[in-house]
A and B are shown apart, each in its own frame.
Chain A
Amino acid sequence: MKKENKIKSIIQAILTDLLFWIYIFGCISFLINHWFEKTIPSNFVVIFGIAVGLITFILGLSVGRKVFFPTIRTDKKWHKSFWGWSVFFILLITFVVGWNLVEVDLYKLFTKFRNAGGILSGIFDPNLNILTLCLTALAETIYLALLATVFAIPLAFSLSFFAARNLMPRTFIGNTVYIIVRTIATIFRSIEAIVWAIIFSVWVGIGPFAGMLALMIHSVASLTKLYSEQIENIDPGPVEAIKATGASTLQTWLFAVVPQIISPYLAFTIYRWDINVRMATIVGFVGGGGIGLLLLQQQQLLRWQNVGVIIWLIAIVVWTMDMVSAKVREKLQEM
């Protein structure tokens, strides 16, 4: 092993050990706090973790060594070695802490079933008198998902060419454009549609328009990524051939790239509409209008029979969209 690599591995090993022990003492301190209501100061946890980590590392009882020096083989079975027991212990304590944090309560799960009786009876006895109201809200949801998808298509389509590595020349401008488009798309995609809905419901007010904008932004970002990956997977041969005829860059994209991506693009887009219809419901909960908003209102009023109607309608729409989109995508595959 090279000397720099060795030093790097040692540092990584020590850091692993320190984090390992700080985490273990953190968990222990949480449990003591939880069960005995005694607070252990956090700097104490950190100092203790570092101290134990350093000592065990020096003594050679180290998990980090095992990870970063895989060449050091010991014939010991895991249950006879220090690192084996450490890993076992850390998994165990993580599980115990998780159980307590999530407040898992099997007693409630099995004995309080009757509390949900209202919802269940609502589902089997829906109040069909409010059907018109629900259908109006449902139409809002479907159309907002449709508009979000339709508006997203041209934007994502254009952007995807600039986010495709194989189309952007490896010049300064090419690289810059590629990196900027990719980064923005990644950031926007990693922000959930719900968060966008909260932002837009403040911006343009609660209602379907806010929901539409939220889904559109999210769709542009994720379609740009899917589309551009599709471009990166095209056969480069036709691009070469079209370039060689003396075609301009735009002509090359239109004649060699577009025909190769059009059918996967359609498939992705329909799939996206499908996702958008589902998300439109959720987005409604946080101010995006439509059936989601209605569901939230009826649930807060404890009108379980109304909630029942809404649940049925959502299920039917999601199920239909699922079938239609699967069928269309199947047809596209054959093209």
Chain B
Amino acid sequence: MKSIIELKNLHKVYATGTHALKGIDLEVKEGEFCILLGLSGSGKSTLLRCLNRLIEPTSGEIHIDGEDVIAAKGQKLRFIRRKIAMIFQQFNLIKNLSSLTNVLTGKLGYSTLIHSLTFPQHKNDVKIALENLRRVGLKEFANKKTRNLSGGQQQRVAIARALMQDPKIILADEPVASLDPATADSVMRYLGELNKKDNMTVICSLHFLSLARKYGTRVVALKDGKIVFDGTPEEIDEKKFKEIYGEDAEEVEIR
């Protein structure tokens, strides 16, 4: 299968001097569900944000779907970004706007300024947005302000917003870390479905091995800014686990 993300020798040094990524080489194939593991501070968020240049990498190469991400500027960068949807731990919805408006913002990369200011007038956009809300089971919440939704519902609105981008890739940064186990699993199920049915490539950082085993087709583990493991979820045994999380770590399973 063809690879959709290619990273070569990627480095990120923050202005504070922290060397967060120390030469990442990674190739992700189309249709993979790639789980990022690693201790807090190992560089997972930094890596995900470098992929769509929310963070500027210090050096290295990023190619996504054949395009040179680092060289892209202005319009070109916007067009790359709209193919890559992002899901966040804190959902990052605009809390005092309705679910529908939040989902419509997923179309911003495809819209001119005038068009985006008149979203509600564009029947077609609204139709797709409602369809995406229905897909995550929230159609009747369309006109509710997102601040009044539960965490799990907010994350599903965020998924609907991501769908609005019609993305090839979904980057998810600890999408279920602020949810209870049952809700976490239901949110992961939506990501799993997008991966299988819509053939979207997913890169998702997680803290739970159980979820990694259930949904991941591949696991990449970071430690101190370097890749220390790259394989299938089944390959992570007691010994590998201790390598990733340190000698003192116990495997905590949440089903």
Contacts and interface: CB of A to CB of B under 8 A. Distances in A.
B90 A237 contact: yes
A245 B54 contact: no
Contacts of B52: 244
Nearest to B165: A245
Interface stretch (A35-43, A149-157, A200-208, A254-262): A254-262
Contacts of B78: 246-248
Interface string B99-139: 00000011111110100110000000000000000000000
A237 B78 CA distance: 18
Nearest to A248: B78
A238 interface: yes
Nearest to B96: A259
Interface string A324-335: 000000000001
Given A246-B79, A246-B81, A246-B165, A241 B93 contact: yes
Nearest to B104: A255
A251 B86 contact: no
A241 B158 CA distance: 9
A165 interface: no
A125 interface: no
Interface string B8-45: 00000000000000000000000000000000000000
Nearest to B109: A246
Contacts of A256: 94
A256 B110 CA distance: 17
A235 B88 CA distance: 13
B108 A242 contact: yes
Interface residues of B, number: 32
B92 A251 contact: no
A250 interface: yes
A251 B113 contact: yes
B166 to A, nearest CB: 11
A243 interface: yes
Contacts of A248: 78, 108, 113
Contacts of A238: 92-94
Interface in A228-242: 235, 237-238, 240-242
Contacts of A245: 81-82, 85, 105-109, 161, 164-165
Interface residues of A, number: 21
A237 B106 contact: no
A191 B177 CA distance: 51
Contacts of B164: 245
Contacts of A335: 96
A176 to B, nearest CB: 19
A250 B113 contact: yes
Interface string A245-284: 1111011001110011001000000000000000000000
Interface in B56-82: 78-82
Instruction: Count chain B CB atoms within 10 A of each CB in A237, A240, A244, A256 and give the residue with the most.
Output: A244
B92 A246 contact: no
Given A254-B117, A259-B94, A244 B105 contact: no
B111 to A, nearest CB: 8
A255 B107 CA distance: 12
Instruction: Count chain B CB atoms within 10 A of each CB in A241, A245, A250, A256 and give the residue with the most.
Output: A245
Contacts of B54: 240, 243-244
Which 5 pairs, one residue from A and one from B, show the smallest C-beta to C-beta distance? A246-B109, A246-B82, A247-B108, A241-B92, A237-B92
Interface of A: 235, 237-238, 240-248, 250-251, 254-256, 259-260, 263, 335
23 contacts: A237-B88, A237-B91, A238-B92, A240-B54, A241-B92, A241-B93, A241-B158, A242-B108, A243-B81, A244-B54, A244-B81, A244-B84, A244-B86, A245-B81, A245-B107, A245-B165, A246-B110, A246-B165, A248-B78, A248-B113, A251-B113, A254-B116, A255-B105
Interface of B: 52, 54, 78-82, 84-86, 88, 90-94, 96-97, 105-111, 113, 116-117, 158, 161, 164-165
